[in-house]
Amino acid sequence: MSYKKILTIQDISCVGQCSLTVALPILSACGLETCVLPSAVLSTHTAGFTGYTFRDLTEDMPAIRDHWIREGIRFSAIYTGYLGSTRQIDYVASIFQTTGTDDCVKVVDPAMADNGRLYPGFDGAFVEAMKGLCAQADYILPNITESCFLTGLEYRTDYDASYIDEHIGKLTALGCKNIILTGVSFRPGKTGIMVVEEGVKRYYEHELLPNSCHGTGDIYASAFVGAFVRGKDAYTAAQIAANYTMACIRATAEEQDHWYGAKFEPVLGGLIQAVNG
């Protein structure tokens, strides 16, 4: 096994099991040397906590990039999660162009929206900047809502295969090379992932669990990237990530006090076995 070095760029919430506190351990467990570029530091995540602290690290990003360039540091893969501004997106685009190896795999999770709405603080200018970053990526991992903002399609919860095909067509026209579209549900009690790689479309359907947890999108994206960079094809990596995310949700379901995230740590062993299998 080649020992690969991956960079992940997203915020770090010191408490809350999301963003970098999820990505760093999951990618490391997959057997990857994991380097990080925090875009911001928060005392907790913003969903359900009040009075949290927030420190924006946008101004630090170009100096960190320049130091890496001087040191000749290069990454086999670069994976982005939540980015807080259009300026951060611009810096990430520069990092894509200057710090990757010749065969660097660039993965963008356009973490900006859910349930038909943009996250607070984001606007049309942010969406336009994210479109440009997605066009530079080798793989993107939007949910249905994020795909709607990227494509201009109407957000719907009741749809058929033609609606998903329209998403795929418009994302491809945007310049997105390979697409992992999450939260695709064609029948009650089921959901899944539509994987489009090199023009070939495959769907993985799994159970829709009744409960949800904050941070599962970060868990899914990190597990997908870890499995994929370790050599799994995109469809297999999508399956592994979905199964692992469901295991995390099940591990958390009985603990009402654990409302702020998913207990991903106790089931990391299963992910490691799947990645190494």
Span 136-193, pLDDT tens digits: 999 999 999 999 999 999 999 999 999 999 999 999 999 999 999 999 999 999 999 9
Measured CA to CA, the distance from residue 141 to residue 183 in angstroms comes to 11
Measured CA to CA, the distance from residue 146 to residue 152 in angstroms comes to 10
Measured CA to CA, the distance from residue 39 to residue 55 in angstroms comes to 9
For the CA atoms of the chain, what is the radius of gyration?
Answer: 18
pLDDT-derived band of residue 28, with 50, 70 and 90 as boundaries? very high
Q: What pLDDT score does 2 carry?
A: 78
Strand-pairing partners, residue 6, are 34, 77
Here the tokens at position 213 are 């947890």
Measured CA to CA, the distance from residue 222 to residue 103 in angstroms comes to 20
Residue-range definition of the domain harbouring residue 256: 5-276
- DSSP labels for 84-144? -SHHHHHHHHHHHHHHEEEEEEEEE---SEETTEEPTT--HHHHHHHHHHHHH-SEE--BH
Under 8 Å between Cβ of 118 and 47 = no
In the chain, the percentage of residues whose pLDDT exceeds 70 is 100
Extended beta strands in 16-74, E state: 33-44, 54-56
Three-state DSSP class for residue 170: helix
Average pLDDT, the chain: 96
Domains of the chain: total: 1
Under 8 Å between Cβ of 3 and 248 = no
Measured from the Cβ of residue 28, the count of other Cβ atoms closer than 10 Å reads 15
Q: State mean pLDDT over 197-211.
A: 93
Weakest-pLDDT range from 67-71, 211-215, 239-243: 211-215
Any idea what the CATH number is for the domain that residue 107 is in?
3.40.1190.20
Task: Give, to the nearest 10 degrees, the angle between helix 268-276 and helix 216-229.
Answer: 30
Q: What pLDDT score does 59 carry?
A: 96
Read off the pLDDT of residues 75-111 as tens digits, 9 standing for 90 and up: 999 999 999 999 999 999 999 999 999 999 999 999 9
Question: Is it the case that residue 237 has pLDDT exceeding 80?
Answer: yes
Measured CA to CA, the distance from residue 238 to residue 42 in angstroms comes to 29
How many angstroms separate the most distant Cα atoms in the chain?
Answer: 54
Tokens 């915020």, located at residue: 11
Q: What pLDDT score does 1 carry?
A: 59
Q: What pLDDT score does 241 carry?
A: 98
pLDDT-derived band of residue 22, with 50, 70 and 90 as boundaries? very high
pLDDT-derived band of residue 232, with 50, 70 and 90 as boundaries? very high
